[in-house]
Amino acid sequence: EVQLVDSGGGLVKPGRSLRLSCTTSGFTFGDYAMSWFRQAPGKGLEWVGYLRTKSYGGTTQYAASVKGRFTISRDDSKSIAYLEMNSLKTEDTAVYYCTRDLFGSGGLVITDWGQGTLVTVSS
Amino acid sequence: DIQMTQSPSSLSASVGDTVTITCRASQGISNFLAWFQQKPGKAPKSLIYAASSLQSGVPSRFSGSGSGTDFTLSISSLQPEDFATYYCQQYNNYPFTFGPGTKVDIK
């Protein structure tokens, strides 16, 4: 069974950093791209960024709102994806979800979602 | 950025009804369109990709269609577990963008 477990959220002050983890099981992690999305309280879904597999160069793409502050990485040996968040702002407050994605000629197809982890940025 | 709109923003329906949700992109996105279902307090669930392809395990009462700028999600014979909010998402251009959602509730 495919499982994605998001963790690492919590309360953090503006300007500080936080690292989220997406611990996975039930599939060959290295064969899949991984993305992060977020949802502010009572709002819709927002794409944060994604990380391709090593076979596709392991390259990343980010939303403009987080580019330069957030970094997505992966440890294929541990089947974990990370979202490193620096210089956090109050507007980064949201539930963060990781996803498992298929990437290829058909674009980036999201297949599975983690349960989400809440990040609250407040002084 | 590509803007995604959805209509209606909400609808009320009864078990057994057929409902249709429309999603429109501000520019052509070929068929790079996905649909997601989200229930309160839960993570989204992937339903459809490439505008009309069902994700594994999704019931056949869900169907999608469209290409270019106009897309639809249809749910036939609505079941109690289908009452939720539905989002469309384009993945043709960065940044990937979502529609604002359509809430389907019980009449």
pLDDT tens digit sequence for B61-91 = 999 999 999 999 999 999 999 999 999 999 9
Of residues B49, B53, B62, the one with CA closest to residue B21 = B62
Residue A45 has pLDDT above 80, yes or no: yes
Tell me if chain B has a CB within 8 Å of the CB of A112: yes
DSSP state of A52: -
Average pLDDT over residues A74-91: 98
Inter-CA distances, A114 with A4, A25, A117, B8, B98, Å: 5, 11, 9, 28, 18
The region that residue A20 occupies, defined by phi over 0 for left and psi between -120 and 50 for alpha, beta otherwise, is: beta
> Which of chain B's residues have a Cβ under 8 Å away from the Cβ of A115?
42-43
Q: Read off the tokens for A46.
A: 């927002």
> Which of chain B's residues have a Cβ under 8 Å away from the Cβ of A37?
44
Closest in B38, B46, B96 to A47, CB measured: B96
Q: Which residue has the higher pLDDT, A106 or A89?
A: A89
Q: Read off the tokens for A106.
A: 């058909």
Residue whose token pair is 């019980």 = B106
Residue A108 has pLDDT above 90, yes or no: no
Polymer length in residues for chain B: 107
Q: Read off the tokens for B50.
A: 């490439």
Mean pLDDT score across all residues of chain B = 97
Of residues A112, A115, A117, A116, the one with CA closest to residue A26 = A112
Interface test with B, best of A6, A39, A46, A47 (most B CBs within 10 A): A47
Tell me if chain B has a CB within 8 Å of the CB of A97: yes
Peptide bond just before B80 cis, omega within 30 deg: no
Q: In this structure, what are the phi and psi dihedrals at residue A36, rounded to the nearest 5 degrees?
A: -125, 140
For B98, which residue in chain A has the nearest alpha carbon?
Answer: A45
Tell me if chain B has a CB within 8 Å of the CB of A41: no
Closest in B43, B95, B101 to A63, CB measured: B95
> Which of chain A's residues have a Cβ under 8 Å away from the Cβ of B99?
44
Q: Which residue has the higher pLDDT, A90 or A104?
A: A90
Are B11 and B19 a contacting pair, CB within 8 Å? yes
